[in-house]
Amino acid sequence: MKYLASLLTLLLIFSPFSASQSQFEDYTEQIPGADLTIAMLALEGGSFQMGSNHSEDEQPTHEVMVSSFWMAKHETTWNLFRLYMERNIDAEQPQQVAGTEVKIKVDAISGATTPYVDMSFGMGTDGYPATGMTQLSASRFCEWLSAMTGNFYRLPTEAEWEYAAKAGTNTAYSFGNESSDLDQYGWSKRNSNEAYQLVGSKQANPWGLHDMHGNVAEWTLDKFAPYSSEDSTDPFVVPDKTYPRVVRGGSWKDEPDALRSSARMASNKSWKKRDPQIPKSKWWHTDAPFVGFRVVRPLKTPSAEEQKQYWGY
């Protein structure tokens, strides 16, 4: 397992560039066949102190180097996720996609099954974060988005997520240490009225990212495991089983403490407790209306084989 993680890291580091450094800037991704876009922010790579002394599973704090990547300004909304679920615009995949990083036919990508219940649970869909999908489902959305645009998208690693959340700070939250200021930046149990809220309706962090503290917790790629200071450059703990995997950021139903930049959550099979299917769905967590995701695009594009591994194959 450590060997595979190291191999993935090396491939990530030494894979050929898909875009020159001069092209590394914010951009807006247009979804072919839909009147929807994704605002992507360019995050220059660098080093930071990952973890905190707050709890045992956030220790030890250790220096990590992260390569440059783009991250979505907002959490993925139901408007976007339903394009993948319903697949009505697949025929709009251009013969020649705009990007050059991914070359796959969109009709070869598995789609999520229709859930047995309304996964928004009446909390809203237009402009609200998509929730309740499994990590696999979120990863296959990334594959679908990659096929439609030609640019390679995936979930962030845990290190990338924390690097983006801290945004150059070393405090409990990106705005400081006091949770009394949290209501300006995030949705927690304290101010959410027991529901998720419209994405981007709170102040952004110093790097322009919204809802990194709360609203919905967000999937990362990693297995939930103790930290190791051995892998200090683009670390990625490759999952070897379905549970537990890392979710970050806290959500609308959590206390402020869970919304800290370094706070970690482990996925759990109880998130499918009320799923009536046998076997239970690999696409949905019927009891996790607090989990969503956002996409990233690394500046260095991995090989086609590595792309499939990032998408959960």
Question: Rounded CA gap, 225 and 63, in Å?
Answer: 17
Q: What is the maximal distance between C-alpha atoms in the chain?
A: 52
Per-residue pLDDT of the chain (313 residues), as tens digits, is: 444 444 444 444 334 344 555 689 999 999 999 999 999 999 999 999 999 999 999 999 999 999 999 999 999 999 999 999 999 999 999 999 999 999 999 999 999 998 888 999 999 999 999 999 999 999 999 999 999 999 999 999 999 999 999 999 999 999 999 999 999 999 999 999 999 999 999 999 999 999 999 999 999 999 999 998 777 999 999 999 999 999 999 999 999 999 999 999 999 999 999 998 889 999 999 999 999 999 999 999 999 999 999 999 9
Cα 312 to Cα 5, 114, 143, 273: the distances in Å are 14, 20, 9, 23
Residue-level pLDDT at 313: 93
CB 90 within 8 A of CB 32: no
Cβ atoms < 10 Å from Cβ of 23: 11
3-state helix, strand and coil shares in percent for the chain, rounded to the nearest 5: 25, 20, 55
pTM for this model (two decimals): 0.93
CB 15 within 8 A of CB 303: yes
| Cα-to-chain-centroid distance, residue 274 | 25
pLDDT > 70 in the chain, percent: 93
Question: Rounded CA gap, 266 and 286, in Å?
Answer: 16
Residue-level pLDDT at 45: 98
Token readout for 28 is 């807006």
Residue 39 identity (one-letter amino acid): A
